[in-house]
Amino acid sequence: MKRAVRNRLADLLLQAFDDPEKRAAIAWLALLCQVTIRTDRPQIPLADLLAHRRAAFPGLDGSVETALDHLIGPGKLLQLRRADTGKVHAAGVPGRVGDIPWLVELEPDACAAYPALCERARIYARLAARMGRSAATGSQPDALRKTMSEAALCFNAGLFFEAHEHLEHRWAAQPRGPTRRFLQGIIQISVGFHHALAGNYEGAVNQLAKGLEKTTGVTGEFLGLDCDAFLPKVAAVREDILRHGRAGMRPIPLAEVPRMPIRE
């Protein structure tokens, strides 16, 4: 998957924590994948995709109608193309749909990563549903604790890049001190597991070491994270990687990655 596509996907997910329209956009993307993956062609007539919406969105509201616009256009993940002329629509969903043979499809770079993108969209949709339920409770935790909890959702779903990206915004805004150092440590642990999942020995060993060094001495709960339950397990995974060595490195299964436990 090209970096630009990965970044567009990550931005969509991270914005979805606070934006219900972005959550609905994720649901649209997952729906497109669901109805096209059986044909192995990442395109569908727009009218057909719209016809699926009532089954996919039983609680249909205005945000669902406009959310598709967040996905279509230059620099986004989807494009609209006329089946008869091949002309690509500028952006968003056109006002006239029924009498024009529009095809909705992944833009070329996203299309090249079709299976991986659809797998990510499936995971994103599951997380977006959880976000919606959390938003409905109306709880408003401290901003840093909220970000850590959201990063943990990503981390525990195997979305280590997204966890790193989400925390990095908070880390960059922090003054020097224990909180900034701790956030950087968790970011580096996330990056380490991103490498471990890909079977990258050097990246996993080095980044996990940096993260563990920056979180050394932190015990109990910090920003909602149960450090006693998490950090020793991270250290144990790194030791296991070292024990097997570079020659024995393999992509680590997600089941072997310790979960980030959050205390509510």
pTM: 0.88
**Rounded (10°) angle between helices 178-197 and 227-244:** 40
Specify the DSSP class assigned to residue 259.
P
Note down pLDDT in tens along the chain; length 264 residues.
Answer: 899 999 999 999 999 999 988 998 998 899 888 888 877 678 888 888 888 776 666 655 555 668 888 898 889 999 988 888 988 888 877 766 667 888 899 999 999 999 999 999 999 999 988 886 665 555 556 889 999 999 999 999 999 999 999 999 899 999 999 999 999 999 999 999 999 999 999 999 999 999 999 999 999 999 999 999 999 999 999 999 999 999 999 999 999 999 999 987
- Sheet holding 102-106: strands in order across? 43-45, 102-106, 78-82
Under a CB-based contact definition with an 8 Å cutoff, are residues 28 and 89 in contact?
A: no
Report CA 110 to chain centroid distance, whole Å.
15
**pLDDT given at position 178:** 94
Q: What is the CATH number of domain 141-256?
A: 1.10.3450.10
What residue segments make up the domains of the chain, in order of their start?
Answer: 3-121, 141-256
Q: What pLDDT shows up at residue 94?
A: 73
